[in-house]
Amino acid sequence: MPSSAITIRKAEPADAAHFVHFNTAMAWETEALKLDEEKIRAGVDGLFAKPQYGFYVLAERDGAVAGGLMITFEWSDWRNKVFWWIQSVYVLPEHRGQGIYRSLYDGVKRMAAAGGECCGFRLYVEKTNTAAQEVYKKLDMEESHYAMFEAGL
């Protein structure tokens, strides 16, 4: 495929449907989970309504949506700054392997540097998703020495 322009921008509420689609498609592709679209839509709208929790970033190739991700914030009292968690990364299948994630990551790094309050980036990835892990390693991300645990309410 010939080279084309990739634009990275903060998403707006009018972009919400893309992130609903990304989330439902990712859950199906990675875990064979069928998510409730109404609940996902409420969650996506909720982040747009509460920017103190984070924001979405959209990648467009020649004006067409190609992928996106979500950034959420984690305060670090050790650093007196915020980690940006990269979450819900999704690239449409027809755009994979063409530098969309790299462009998203580079765009997020520029946004973080411009804001001055970010001390670094974190993300989690399925243990079996070795393809994604290789992409992150190529972008100089390292596997953390922390293990992640979770519990529901």
Residue 68 included in any domain: yes
Average pLDDT, integer, range 138-145: 90
- In sequence order, the 6+-apart residues with CB closer than 8 A to the CB of 105 are 86, 139
> What is the structure's pLDDT at 101?
95
| pLDDT tens, residue by residue, 20-67 | 999 999 999 988 999 999 999 999 999 999 999 999 999 999 989 999
Bigger pLDDT: 66 vs 152: 66
Render 7-51 in DSSP notation, one character per residue: EEEE--GGGHHHHHHHHHHHHHHHH-----HHHHHHHHHHHHH-T
> What is the structure's pLDDT at 3?
55
**Contact present, 86 and 69 (Cβ < 8 Å):** yes
Average pLDDT, integer, range 74-93: 96
Residue 136 included in any domain: no
Residue 152 included in any domain: no
Residue 99 included in any domain: yes
Decide if pLDDT at 112 tops 70.
yes
Average pLDDT, integer, range 116-124: 94
Residue 83 included in any domain: yes
CATH of the domain at 18: 3.40.630.30
Residue 153 included in any domain: no
Residue 140 included in any domain: no
Range of the domain at 100: 6-124
> What is the structure's pLDDT at 122?
96
Reported as a pLDDT band with limits 50, 70 and 90, residue 129 is: confident
- In sequence order, the 6+-apart residues with CB closer than 8 A to the CB of 129 are 30
Decide if pLDDT at 102 tops 50.
yes
Render 67-94 in DSSP notation, one character per residue: EEEEEEEEEETTTTEEEEEEEEEEE-GG
Mean pLDDT of the chain, nearest integer: 94
Decide if pLDDT at 1 tops 60.
no
Number of folded domains in the chain?
Answer: 1
Reported as a pLDDT band with limits 50, 70 and 90, residue 128 is: confident
**Contact present, 129 and 30 (Cβ < 8 Å):** yes
**Ranges assigned E (strand) in 99-140:** 118-123
